[in-house]
Structure 1
Amino acid sequence: MSSTPQAHPRFAEALSAMGLTVEIRAFPDATRTAAQAAEAVGCELSQIVKSLVFEADGEPVLVLMDGASRVDVALVRAELGAQKVSRADAGLVREATGYAIGGVPPFGHVTQTTRVLADRGLLAHDVVWAAAGTPHTVFALAPEELITHARGSLVDVREQTAEVP
């Protein structure tokens, strides 16, 4: 872990504008995937927030999902009332957020009007970890606070597995 971790400058600016002070952790190896991030942080996979960009009827939509779950595209489509929903390509992700895939934070994007859906499963933890704008940095925040700052709508868009606990 770096002794002076740095968030992406745009994300650091967003934190400052929101009056948020968070601990940024930096890692020498990339934490592009939820599994890599959870291992680096030393937390449960479900405590990692994936910031996933989808394209819904031609418009970008950000879905915040816990790292142990998958997004059910049909539920996203129904939630948005959209005809077509698909994963955004790298170009649209960068255009909508200003960040590359693997480092997209839940807020602090270049486009402030992107709709944000936050899966209710994030609320299962006291603290969650999300990308701080680079594939090497993460930050922790209470999930309710993270969703509020992301201007997210709380929804149920997690893919349901056949397993019933």
Structure 2
Amino acid sequence: MSKTTPATVALTRAGVAFELFPYDYDPDAPRVGLQAAEALGWAPEQVFKTLMTLVDAKPACVIVPSDCEVSMKKLAAALGGKSAQMMKPADAERLTGYKVGGVSPFGQRKAVPTVMDETAILFDRILINGGQRGLLLGLTPDEAARAAGAKLADLTA
């Protein structure tokens, strides 16, 4: 496994301190984020998943706790849209340059509007995907939001 990804390069360039948290990725896990939290011994609400969505047919990135589901209504409202839906996996991979299961909000091929669930600020550190399957990054919620260009909002169902 490479410890250098577009996400780690982007964070390093931005001067953001982070730690690497490699783990054994299970492609058959029903919920990859929960599997990652369990593998690393972190609380699921501190391990954030990155999802690619469409808000009014335009791409958007969403960062939410691994034990939560996104409220599409709240997501659309947070970005000033009317409706939201999940992006097809192949489209997400093409847009971000990452494989599904390894999508990071940092270092994506194309910058898109990004929203992070406001519960992130409840923690000193959170884990977010590092740009490949089996690699999470630990950083402060403030630095994560700044580096991803994310606004904070209530996003969960």
Match of 2:14 in 1: 18
1:8 Cα deviation after fit? 4.8
CA distance in 1, matches of 2:11, 2:78: 29
CA 1:8–1:92: 2 relative to 1, 3 Å: farther
Any stretches of 5+ residues in structure 2 without a counterpart? none
Give the percent of matched residue pairs that are identical in Structure 1 and Structure 2: 25
CA distance in 2, matches of 1:36, 1:8: 22
Q: 2:105 aligned with 1:106, yes or no?
A: yes
1:91 Cα deviation after fit? 1.9
> 1:48-63, aligned counterparts within 5 Å?
48-63=47-62
Moved more, 87-96 or 6-15: 6-15
1:155 Cα deviation after fit? 0.8
Any stretches of 5+ residues in structure 1 without a counterpart? 160-165
Superposition RMSD on alpha carbons, in Å?
1.8
Q: Is the 8 A contact 1:7 1:134 kept in 2?
A: no
1:146 Cα deviation after fit? 0.6
Q: Counterpart of 1:11 in 2: which secondary structure?
A: helix
Match of 1:140 in 2: 138
Match of 2:2 in 1: 6
CA distance in 2, matches of 1:99, 1:76: 22
Match of 2:129 in 1: 131
Q: Is the 8 A contact 2:50 2:64 kept in 1?
A: yes
What letter is aligned with 2:79? Answer: L
Aligned counterpart for 1:120 among listed residues 105, 108, 118: 118
Q: Deviations over 1:93-138 (max 9, x none)?
A: 11221111111112111112x0001110111211111111111111
What letter is aligned with 1:129? Answer: L
Match of 1:41 in 2: 40
Q: Which TM-score applies when normalising by structure 2?
A: 0.89
Q: Deviations over 1:1-30 (max 9, x none)?
A: xxxx63353223212211234221222334
Q: Which TM-score applies when normalising by structure 1?
A: 0.85
CA distance in 2, matches of 1:84, 1:101: 23
1:53 Cα deviation after fit? 0.8
Larger Rg: 1
Match of 1:163 in 2: none
1:59 Cα deviation after fit? 1.1
Q: Is the 8 A contact 2:5 2:132 kept in 1?
A: no
